[in-house]
A = this chain, B = another copy of it.
Amino acid sequence: MQGNAQQQAYDRGITIFSPDGRLYQVEYAREAVKRGTASVGVRTEDGVVLAADTRVRSPLLERESVEKLHKIDDHIGIASAGHVADARQLIDFARRQAQVNQLRYGEPIGVESLTKGITDQIQQYTQTGGARPFGVALIVGGIENGEPRLFETDPSGTPYEWQALAVGGNREDLIDFFEAEYRDDLDLDGGIDLALRGLDTVGDEGIDPEGVALGTIDVETEQYRRHETEEIKQYVEEADIGGDEE
């Protein structure tokens, strides 16, 4: 109770520290991320896998319009979790950054460089007054100099590089799952299998191929590719997971 009252004094102001050095608004933005369904990313030797839980509330709602996987450039994709409208702003920002880089330097933007451009943008909203932080976490995947790269941006504006990760709801469980199951020598199909098996562990009903978005960027083509539902169904069948429809 005391704790609550004291806490309130600091979390109402957007950009100030609490006595123990925390930024409450940033921590609450993390809660906004957790309210979204999960998105995952897996890095393999052959490329990067991005997947997202896109289950919808109503059969009349077009699944494709629940945007959680986004092509940023030929060689980079982003999976998001959290406040959808906020994510759209950062996705637009990322696309503009990619275009500007191409125009200015005549070459595709690097995955790490793009990620840090995004986190700088996010950080600004946590330090300067007049706006709230972004309630969204992103998984940035792509090929850079022939190497697959996989990054996370969190609401504080910190970039992290991962082998495999999850953002959004059930993040902790999914990362535990990946820590147990991930192997360095996965090929792209192995990465897809791992990502889908991860999403299958979330919720009571198991994975629904129609409620999943899947994208990959392989090191050979360096092209982001969105996978069709039919492909996903096949992967799910091969993984022997999913709900009662198999």
Q: A142: CB under 8 A from chain B?
A: no
B17:A133 contact, CB within 8 angstroms:
yes
- Shortest distance between the CB of A152 and any CB in chain B (Å): 9
A6 to B127, CA, bound (A): 24
A159 to B65, CA, bound (A): 7
Q: A162: CB under 8 A from chain B?
A: yes
Q: A14: CB under 8 A from chain B?
A: yes
B12:A29 contact, CB within 8 angstroms:
no
B66:A160 contact, CB within 8 angstroms:
yes
Of the residues B13, B116, B163, contact of A12 by C-beta under 8 Å:
B13
Chain A 144-183 against B: per-residue CB contact (8 Å), 1 yes, 0 no?
0000000100001111111111000000000100110010
Interface size for A (C-beta < 8 A) is: 75
Extra inter-chain contacts (6) besides given A11-B16, A85-B119, CB under 8 Å: A9-B11, A11-B19, A21-B35, A23-B132, A88-B123, A127-B131
A25 to B12, CA, bound (A): 14
Chain A 1-33 against B: per-residue CB contact (8 Å), 1 yes, 0 no?
000101111111111111111111100111111
Contacts of A162 in B (CB 8 A): 58, 60-62, 65
A132:B16 contact, CB within 8 angstroms:
yes
Chain A 104-126 against B: per-residue CB contact (8 Å), 1 yes, 0 no?
00000000000010011011011
- Shortest distance between the CB of A41 and any CB in chain B (Å): 10
Contacts of A151 in B (CB 8 A): 65
Q: A92: CB under 8 A from chain B?
A: yes
Q: A59: CB under 8 A from chain B?
A: yes
- 18 of the cross-chain contacts (CB-CB < 8 Å) are A7-B19, A16-B25, A17-B29, A17-B32, A17-B135, A58-B179, A60-B162, A60-B165, A61-B160, A61-B162, A62-B162, A65-B162, A83-B156, A84-B158, A85-B126, A85-B157, A88-B116, A130-B130
Contacts of A20 in B (CB 8 A): 28, 31, 35
